[in-house]
Amino acid sequence: MHTSVDRGIRSRVIYPIGVLITLGLAYLLDSWLFTQTRLAKSTHLVGIHDPLFLWTIISGLVLFAAWLALSWLALTKSSRSLPISLIIIVIGLIFYIYPYLEMLITWLPMLYFTVRTPLAYTGLFIAVLSTLQLILKYPNQGIKSEM
């Protein structure tokens, strides 16, 4: 039997776990797209027959599904936590500006191969999502029953 304490802990950790899974998926998509880009450059195909065009669309759809799932978790299933949301905002913004940091600070590990990547955009997305989670009031908190 699940107690309210179990549900409280689960609602606090579900969003950070979802963020980590989404960032991991975006990193895998990043490295996969980089490999596909290298293969496309070696075959010299251009236009809609280029497999890179298809892989970019497919990776975008996968990222869309992951972002949709993360949004649903963040806005409906997780509880609002100021420290967790602030930490995730900072992490998201770091992932978004990291390609530029790689160019400025040479000792940083190389995560990105280009500036615009699924991982960078996922960082921006989780920062915005965490901000929304802090700003929005949940419907059940703002409405009092009149019974």
Residue 58, CB half-sphere, CA atoms under 13 Å: how many? 9
pTM assigned to the model: 0.78
pLDDT value, residue 98: 86
Alpha helices of 73-116 — where are they, by DSSP H?
Answer: 82-104
In tens, the pLDDT along 36-80 reads: 877 777 766 555 556 777 888 888 899 999 999 999 988 888 887
pLDDT value, residue 6: 66
pLDDT of 90 over the 80 cut = yes
Evaluate the CA torsion angle 73, 76, 77, 82 in order and state its sign.
positive
> Any idea which residue has 């419907």 for tokens?
139
pLDDT value, residue 69: 93
Neighbours of 17 (CB within 10 A): 12
Contact present, 80 and 138 (Cβ < 8 Å): yes
pLDDT value, residue 144: 46
In tens, the pLDDT along 100-114 reads: 888 888 888 877 666
